């Protein structure tokens, strides 16, 4: 939703009349209904009877929408039927595997048909997304990285904490941050975690069990002001998800003049971070992460230099430039 809202705002600031339309929800067990309902959604005219000249879709099932001028800026298809299939399949019963295997085949064929034949222009939000399109469907696309969300980023200081903000689920690997702090040598360095999700209680238990409650602070869900304040005051940002599509955290950290520590298998974030210059791209192990944290904690001038280069890099990605690419009529 963040990218959709920011795209609408950027279009308006560029002089276009734009609005956000939410397509039918894609709930498990009702995916095909959602695709059909989206396909039947009338986007030719607005509520006042005016012609809609173009649509921009972002993810499944929104790219099923029907329009002659249709640009898709894809973050992902339903990953359980693509790169996460083996993990998802292992959790199913024998009957469930048969049912979901059939659904996988149908949805992959449907996605390929829609993205190859019913979209005027297809952009992938990262090379990771582009590679998935090529691997599953041989679907050609052009990479267009989203700029950071339009927020009041600032740089207040380079404090004594590593910051992360994320949905607390397994693929985000916040647990690795906690594990790393068992090996961090700098006793002044802390970690601050903002976010909510299914792993919150498990992460809180882990912090307690490891005796890290004074060093790892789990704040839970907070408001935008608090998030921006932590970006502005942290030493650096941890963002080490597993094979992420893109993720706004890297761009937001860069816009706040902060380096990012990510993993070699983190997908989109690893594409943006230049190892040793705008952050560290390391093996996703607690030991390697801890060494990176200690290196920055022991040399704040290095963290500041990396942050400066990161801000220079991300400043070249702007919403007006994105709008020029996305608008085709």
DSSP 288-306: HHHHHHHHHHT-HHHHHHH
Is a pLDDT exceeding 80 seen at residue 127? yes
Chain-wide mean pLDDT for the chain? Answer: 94
Measured between alpha carbons, how far is 101 from 48 in angstroms, rounded to an integer? 44
Residue environment code for 28-58, b if the CB has 16+ CB neighbours within 10 A, otherwise e: eeebeebbebbeebebeeeeeeeebebbbbb
pLDDT of residue 26: 65
Distance of alpha carbon 305 from alpha carbon 25, whole angstroms: 44
The edge-to-edge listing of strands for the beta sheet with 161-165 is 216-220, 190-194, 161-165, 236-238, 260-263, 279-282
Residue 89 has pLDDT above 90, yes or no: yes
| Domains located in the chain, CATH noted | 2-144 (no CATH), 161-314 (3.40.50.2000)
- Cα separation of 267 and 282, whole Å? 12
- Residue 233, pLDDT score: 98
pLDDT at position 27, please?
A: 66
Mean pLDDT of 270-287: 97
Q: What is the pLDDT of residue 15?
A: 95
Tens digits of residue pLDDT in 220-246: 999 999 999 999 999 999 999 999 999
294-322 in b/e burial notation, b at 16+ Cβ within 10 A?
bebbeeeebbbebbebbbebbeebebeeb
- Structure tokens, 240: 């080490």
CA–CA dist 176, 123 (Å, integer): 32
Q: What is the mean pLDDT of residues 70-84?
A: 94
Query: Does the pLDDT at position 29 exceed 70?
Result: no
Query: What's the rounded Cα separation, in Å, for the pair 11 and 1?
Result: 15
Taking the C-alpha atoms of residue 96 and residue 276, their distance in angstroms, rounded to an integer, is: 46
Structure tokens at 82: 């693509």
SS3 157: coil
Strand partners, 282: 263
Secondary-structure breakdown of the chain: helix, strand, coil percentages, each rounded to the nearest 5:
45, 15, 45
Please report the pLDDT score of residue 45 as a whole number: 77
Instruction: Quick: pLDDT tens for 143-169.
Output: 999 999 999 999 999 999 999 999 999
The pTM of this model reads 0.91
**Quick check: 300 pLDDT over 90?**
yes
CA distances from 4 to 18, 35, 55, 92, 168 (A): 11, 19, 12, 33, 22
When pLDDT is averaged across residues 280-296 and rounded to a whole number, the result is 98
Question: Which pLDDT does position 208 carry in this prediction?
Answer: 97
pLDDT at 43: 87
Please compute the mean of the pLDDT values over residues 255-260 and round it to a whole number. 98
- Tell me the two tokens of residue 228: 């921006």
For residue range 208-222, list pLDDT tens digits in order.
999 999 999 999 999
In DSSP terms, 5 is beta-bridged to none
DSSP tag of 275 = B
Distance from C-alpha of 155 to C-alpha of 230, rounded to nearest angstrom: 10
- Give Cα 178 to chain centroid, integer Å: 21
Element at 154 (helix H, strand E): none
pLDDT surpassing 80 at residue 24: no
Contact 100, 88 (CB under 8 A): yes
Instruction: Give the model confidence (pLDDT) of 178-210 as tens digits.
Output: 999 999 999 999 999 999 999 999 999 999 999
Which pLDDT value is given to residue 49?
A: 78
């Amino acid at each position: 939703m963040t990218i959709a809202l920011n795209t609408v705002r950027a279009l308006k600031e560029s002089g276009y009349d734009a609005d956000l339309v939410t397509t039918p929800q894609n709930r498990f067990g009702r995916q095909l209904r959602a695709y059909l309902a989206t396909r039947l959604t009338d986007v030719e005219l607005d509520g006042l009877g005016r012609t809609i000249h173009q649509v921009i879709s972002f993810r499944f099932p929104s790219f099923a929408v029907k329009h002659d001028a249709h640009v898709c800026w894809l973050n992902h298809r339903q990953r359980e039927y693509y790169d996460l299939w083996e993990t998802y399949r292992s959790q199913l019963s024998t009957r469930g595997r048969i049912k979901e295997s059939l659904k996988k085949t149908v949805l992959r064929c449907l996605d390929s048909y829609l993205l190859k034949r019913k979209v005027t222009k297809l952009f992938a939000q990262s090379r990771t997304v582009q590679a998935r399109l090529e691997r599953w469907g041989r679907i050609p696309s052009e990479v267009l990285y989203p700029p950071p969300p339009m927020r009041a980023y600032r740089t207040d200081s380079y404090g004594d904490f590593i910051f992360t903000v994320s949905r607390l689920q397994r693929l985000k690997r916040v647990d690795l941050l906690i594990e790393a702090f068992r090996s961090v040598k700098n006793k002044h360095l802390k970690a601050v975690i903002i976010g909510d999700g299914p792993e919150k209680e498990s992460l809180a238990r882990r912090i307690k069990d490891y005796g890290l409650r004074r060093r790892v602070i789990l704040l839970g869900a907070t408001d935008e002001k608090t998030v921006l304040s932590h970006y502005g005051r942290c030493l650096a940002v941890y963002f080490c998800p597993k094979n992420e599509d893109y993720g706004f955290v890297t761009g937001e950290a860069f816009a706040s003049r902060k380096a990012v520590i990510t993993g070699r298998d983190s997908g989109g974030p690893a594409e943006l971070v230049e190892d040793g210059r705008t952050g560290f791209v390391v093996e996703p192990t607690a030991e390697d992460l801890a060494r990176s944290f200690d290196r920055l904690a022991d040399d704040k001038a290095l963290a500041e230099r990396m942050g400066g280069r990161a801000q220079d890099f991300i400043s070249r990605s702007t919403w007006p430039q994105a709008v020029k690419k996305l608008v085709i009529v």
